[in-house]
A and B are shown apart, each in its own frame.
Chain A
Amino acid sequence: MPSPWPPSVCRSSKLASGFVQNTLPAIVLVLLIKEVPLGVQMLKTSILQIAPELEEAGGTSGARFSMIFRRITLPLIAPMFGSVFILSFVAAFRDISATILLVGPNTKTMAVMMIELAEEGRFEATAVVGVVLSFVVLALTLAMNWLRGRVEIRG
Chain B
Amino acid sequence: MTDNRPPMLEVRDLHKTYESRRTPRPAVDGVSFTVRAGEFFTLLGPSGCGKTTTLRCVAGLETPESGTILIDGMEVYSRDSRTQIPTNRRDISMVFQSYAVWPHMTVSGNVSFPLEAMNTPHAEARKRVMDALEVVGLADFADRPATQLSGGQQQRVAFARAIVKNAKILLLDEPLSNLDAQLREQMRTELHALHKRLGTTTLYVTHDQDEALRLSDRVALMRDGSIIELDTPRALYLSPDKEFTARFIGQGNIWDCAIRELHEGAAVVDSKIGTVIAMAGALTPKSSRLMVRPEHISLQSSRQNLSPNEYHGQIVSSAFSGRTLDYVVVVNDMELRVQSPSVEIRSAGDYVTVVLPPERCVLLLS
Chain A residues proximal to chain B, CB less than 8 Å: 51, 53-54, 56-64, 67, 71-72, 75-76, 153-155
Inside 8 A of B60's CB, which chain A residues have their CB?
Answer: 59
A60 to B113 CA separation, bound complex (whole angstroms): 11
How far is it, in angstroms, between the C-alpha of A86 and the C-alpha of B8 when the chains are bound? 53
Chain A hits for B88, CB < 8 A: 58-64
The answer to whether B98 touches A53 (Cβ under 8 A) is yes
- Size category, B interface: 20 to 34
Binding site for A on B (CB under 8 A): 59-61, 86-89, 92-94, 96, 98, 100, 102-104, 113-114, 117-118, 147, 158, 161-162, 165, 171
Main secondary structure of the interface of A (DSSP, over half): helix
Contact yes or no, B94 A72, CB < 8 A? no
Taking CB atoms, residues of chain A closer than 8 Å to B118 are 62
Residues of B contacting A54 in the complex (Cβ-Cβ under 8 angstroms) = 100, 102
Bound together, the chains give a CA A59 to CA B92 distance in angstroms of 10
Residues of A contacting B89 with CB < 8 Å? 62
State whether B147 touches A153 (Cβ < 8 A).
yes
Q: Is the CB of A57 within 8 A of B96?
A: yes
List 15 interface pairs A-B (beta carbons < 8 Å), by A numbering.
Answer: A53-B96, A56-B96, A56-B100, A57-B96, A57-B100, A57-B102, A60-B87, A60-B88, A60-B162, A61-B161, A62-B88, A62-B118, A63-B113, A154-B103, A155-B103
Q: Check B61 against A56 for contact (C-beta < 8 Å).
A: yes
The docked-state distance in angstroms from the alpha carbon of A51 to that of B171 is 19
CA of A125 to CA of B162, assembled, Å? 64
- List, in ascending order, chain B residues with CB within 8 A of A64's CB: 88, 117
The residue of chain A having its C-beta at the shortest distance from the C-beta of B104 within the complex is A75
Do B117 and A61 have beta carbons less than 8 Å apart?
yes
Asked if B114 and A62 make an inter-chain contact with CB atoms under 8 angstroms apart, the answer reads yes
